[in-house]
Amino acid sequence: MTARTPIKHLAAQQDGPITVSGWVDTVRDQKKVQFVVLRDESGAVQLVNPAVRELDETDAASAGRLAITETISGLSQGSFITVTGELKHDERVKLGGIEVKIGTLEVITHAIAETPIAEDSSIDKRLDWRFLDLRRPEQNLIFRVQTTFLHALRTWWVEHDFIEIQTPKLMASASESRAELFEVEYFEGKAYLAQSPQFFKQMAQPAGFGKVFEVAPAFRADPSFTSRHATEFTSIDAEMSWVDSHEDVMRMHEELLVAGLTAVKQKHGAEIEALFGLEVTVPTTPFPRIPLAEAKRIVAERGYEVPRADDDMDPEGERRIAAYVKEEFGHEFVFLTDYASSIRPFYHMRHEGDPGLTNSYDLIFNGVEISTGAQREHRIDVLEAQAREKGLDPEELGFYLDFFRYGVPPHGGFGMGLQRVIMLLLHQPSIREVTYLFRGPNRLTP
């Protein structure tokens, strides 16, 4: 089989013979000429065929051209074809200024004429036929953006001496909240799907790894049907030793995001603007930082009282404080800091002199929380006391608490949801749009 040329490379090719393969996007079957828009994983190109409608016995090439004409007339959207022909640059062609005159055409696979989804199909219907939905240029770009973003994060971490780890996703006991655990059969006993790599990435600190990161699945048995929740998602985690406070973690976090968004803007900025109609903004550092109590006061002064009695910020409060930060600082990110110890895990370090507050933060991006980070408590006696205060039995936390009995440096880190970041970066209405195969309370297929 002749080697094909990816469509995105055609513009740089000289006029002449070329072979392309892809899916039929549209067919315009006119009387004297036929046009086919062919799409592969890299882009789209126009194919042109001078139509022959009946056999001319005086022309030896007539039969072949008639066969191509009839084949094109019968092509259905989504059929996969290979075409060899002549590439021609022509600025009059609206689609990229190039076209391919068809010489030979082979139908590799025929597609059923009636497709089960359309552009206006519901998200649930499109998810039922996800492999077809993913053919859309917008979807293709989403996952190219994700690839670039993650590569940039990994590059930044490696250049700053972080070690990549892969923590287990089958656990003998809860990592954080038993209420959100998936329980699975494990030989003669039970195991749990990991909600977070929290305990294991902390284990790397007394192990002497210093700085670690992981990009991996996480599981939450949370029966939420919001645009931001999933039962399986990709968690971006980092943990590092030798921190003085959560400020060190926030500084690392913002530098990492700047690296990721810079790479996305440089590589995909023009495509994002063309397909999504928005400009990628690389944030300046430092990101704004607002203590939670002050943030709640600000949104109250702007006409919204956060109704929660548990000292947290609700989604509307997040949107309101993000709007304030956008107006006052021109920034899409804001760190909300100093959360109450009553709503934070037992392992978050508390303020010196004020045990009611923690050295922790939530990061808000375009009005939605994407991450929680903190300095961790590394003193065993304090950890045990805080666990008891939360109603936890230190005996059940034995394997975790052992980390702190043999020398552990001050450390901190964060966990961040990949799909939320991509959703908010591209202004999509739901993480369902930016998840390759979404899992939620009522979706386990495809």
DSSP 244-300: SSHHHHHHHHHHHHHHHHHHHHHHHHHHHHHHH-----PPPSSPPEEEHHHHHHHHH
Give the closest residue to 362 by CA, choosing from 307, 424, 305, 289.
289
pLDDT given at position 178: 65
CATH number at residue 90: 2.40.50.140
Instruction: Kindly state whether residues 209 and 174 are assigned to the same domain.
Output: yes
**Regions of the chain with pLDDT less than 70:** 1-2, 57, 60, 174-178, 309
Is 1 within a domain? no
Instruction: Kindly state whether residues 31 and 151 are assigned to the same domain.
Output: no
Instruction: Kindly state whether residues 344 and 195 are assigned to the same domain.
Output: yes
Is 334 within a domain? yes
Sheet order of strands, 368-375 included: 163-164, 211-219, 232-241, 411-417, 368-375, 360-365, 333-337, 289-291
Contact 213, 413 (CB under 8 A): no
Give the closest residue to 19 by CA, choosing from 28, 40, 50.
40
Instruction: Kindly state whether residues 142 and 291 are assigned to the same domain.
Output: yes
Binding residues for ATP: 369, 417-420
Single out the residue in 109, 137, 164 at which a domain terminates. Answer: 109
Instruction: Kindly state whether residues 140 and 289 are assigned to the same domain.
Output: yes
DSSP β-bridge partners for residue 99? 46, 88
Contact 102, 83 (CB under 8 A): yes
Is 123 within a domain? no
Q: Rounded to the nearest 10 degrees, how much is the dihedral formed by the CA atoms of 105, 107, 112, 117?
A: -70
pLDDT given at position 173: 77
Instruction: Kindly state whether residues 333 and 191 are assigned to the same domain.
Output: yes
pLDDT given at position 63: 86
Instruction: Kindly state whether residues 140 and 68 are assigned to the same domain.
Output: no
Is 174 within a domain? yes
CB atoms within 10 A of CB 238: 23
Instruction: Kindly state whether residues 151 and 99 are assigned to the same domain.
Output: no
Cα separation values, 20 from 1, 35, 37, 41, 320, Å: 11, 15, 12, 12, 50
pLDDT given at position 220: 95
The domain in which residue 275 lies consists of 128-434
Is 301 within a domain? yes
Instruction: Kindly state whether residues 390 and 425 are assigned to the same domain.
Output: yes
pLDDT given at position 195: 94
Binding residues: 176, 220, 369, 372, 376, 417-420
**Which residues, including other chains, have CB under 8 Å from residue 99's CB and lie 6 or more apart?**
45, 46, 47, 48, 87, 88, 90, 93
Is 411 within a domain? yes
pLDDT digits (tens, 9 = 90+) for 347-370: 999 999 899 999 999 999 999 999
Taking the C-alpha atoms of residue 254 and residue 245, their distance in angstroms, rounded to an integer, is 15
CATH number at residue 374: 3.30.930.10
Q: Provide the domain count of the chain.
A: 2
**Which residues, including other chains, have CB under 8 Å from residue 161's CB and lie 6 or more apart?**
210, 211
Is 114 within a domain? no
Instruction: Kindly state whether residues 86 and 181 are assigned to the same domain.
Output: no
pLDDT given at position 119: 86
CB atoms within 10 A of CB 340: 16
Taking the C-alpha atoms of residue 114 and residue 191, their distance in angstroms, rounded to an integer, is 45
Instruction: Kindly state whether residues 384 and 418 are assigned to the same domain.
Output: yes
Is 122 within a domain? no
pLDDT given at position 61: 75
Instruction: Kindly state whether residues 148 and 100 are assigned to the same domain.
Output: no
CA angle 438, 444, 446 (to 5 degrees): 75
Give the closest residue to 98 by CA, choosing from 7, 27, 33.
7
The predicted model scores a pTM of: 0.94
Residue 400 CA neighbour count, 13 Å, CB half:
26
Taking the C-alpha atoms of residue 292 and residue 335, their distance in angstroms, rounded to an integer, is 9
pLDDT given at position 100: 98
Q: Rounded to the nearest 10 degrees, how much is the dihedral formed by the CA atoms of 97, 111, 86, 62?
A: -130
Binding residues for L-aspartate: 176, 220, 372, 376
